[in-house]
Amino acid sequence: MKFLIVGLGNIGSEYAETRHNIGFKVLDALAGASNLFFRTDRYGDVCELKHKGKMFILLKPSTFMNLSGNAVRYWMQQEKIPLEHVLVITDDLALPYGKLRMRGQGSDGGHNGLKHINQILQTTQYARLRFGISAEFSKGQQVDYVLGLWSDEELKTLKEHIERAGKAALSFGLIGLPRTMNEFNTK
């Protein structure tokens, strides 16, 4: 059984440590914990993670955030992965820092990556794991905040939040969406 786990972010070293790249960071941590490496392939960097009898295709799109749907559609088709086995990991300004929220469907919430995925897949009926980055910015500073570096205070706990998000992603494939939501959305 295969699952496609998509971590949203932007390619390039200038974006590597920004809040907007949390999806990439979660996938890097998952791969690193199993001593796996990503290979550059069509529409992104890809890695196969086998865990408890399941195959997780980890995808970091190389299309930039606003064109993420192209990579998602391609890898779903390439690996013959049904929509119900797709999970997209993204940052979320509406959630407090480090809070996780998994849902089986929903709006794009103003997130351009999700907006493009919705447009390309012609549906909002896919799972997403939102990682809270809070909204600690002044009016008109949203882009600078999202594309900004983590604060020193956030960096103190970032690793543990990333690891928890990785566990939630694997749980999605192992025990399903409802049970994963019950476990990870409440803490």
The whole-number pLDDT of residue 98 equals 94
pLDDT tier at 52 (50, 70, 90 boundaries)?
very high
Q: Are strands 39-41 and 44-51 parallel, antiparallel or unpaired?
A: antiparallel
Quickly list H helices, 20-151. 22-33, 68-79, 112-121, 142-146
* pLDDT tens string 134-170: 987 878 788 888 899 999 999 999 999 999 999 999 9
Which residue is catalytic, options 20, 85, 116, 161?
Answer: 20
* pLDDT tens string 87-103: 999 999 999 999 999 99
Domains of the chain: 2-184 (3.40.50.1470)
CA 171 from chain centre, in angstroms, equals: 14
Closest alpha carbon to 27 in 58, 63, 61, 72: 58
Question: Are the C-beta atoms of residues 132 and 96 closer than 8 Å to each other?
Answer: yes
Q: How many other CB atoms are there within 10 angstroms of residue 136's CB atom?
A: 12
Residue labelled with tokens 């600690």:
136
Closest alpha carbon to 6 in 120, 87, 125: 87
111 is known as an active-site residue: no
Side chain identity, residue 23: G
The whole-number pLDDT of residue 187 equals 58
**Length, in residues, of the chain:** 187
Q: Which residues pair with residue 5 across a beta bridge?
A: 58, 87
Percentage above 90 pLDDT, the chain: 86
Q: How many other CB atoms are there within 10 angstroms of residue 132's CB atom?
A: 18
Closest alpha carbon to 58 in 125, 18, 3, 95: 3
CA 32 from chain centre, in angstroms, equals: 16
